[in-house]
Amino acid sequence: GENVEQHPSTLSVQEGDSAVIKCTYSDSASNYFPWYKQELGKRPQLIIDIRSNVGEKKDQRIAVTLNKTAKHFSLHITETQPEDSAVYFCAADTGTASKLTFGTGTRLQVTL
């Protein structure tokens, strides 16, 4: 089955700096890669996603890059703000019944 690794587990950045979170996956059949933001005690919220036919996608301060050959994808947050502080999860979907395998999460702390 699919295995998704995520790094780092914690990340502290100063407000205004950029944050990068990286994930690798094992199943070459995976074709959809969403990123979720989860605040304490709340549901995961989709913030951006990318499909395997695209190498990069951007939405305002958030971007995701995908390298299919290397089987890794990354989340980039620019101009970080305190409200970006949360746990971020990457995931991979093989397309079989839309089943997602999640990474272990990254706790992002944006300090003033």
What does the binding site for other proteins look like in residue numbers (CB under 8 A)? 32, 34, 36, 41-46, 49, 89, 97-105
Residue 98 Cβ vs other proteins, minimum distance, rounded to whole Å = 4
Residue 91 Cβ vs other proteins, minimum distance, rounded to whole Å = 8
Nearer to other proteins, 53 or 69 (CB): 53
Residue 104 Cβ vs other proteins, minimum distance, rounded to whole Å = 5
Give the pair of three-digit tokens for residue 25: 């996956």
The C-alpha atoms of residue 101 and residue 74 are separated, in whole angstroms, by 16
Nearer to other proteins, 44 or 77 (CB): 44
Cβ atoms 15, 112 nearer than 8 A? yes
**3-state SS, residue 108:** strand
Nearer to other proteins, 18 or 54 (CB): 54
- Other CB atoms closer than 10 Å to residue 2's CB: what's the count? 18
Nearer to other proteins, 1 or 83 (CB): 1
**3-state SS, residue 94:** coil
The H or E element spanning position 32 is: strand 32-38
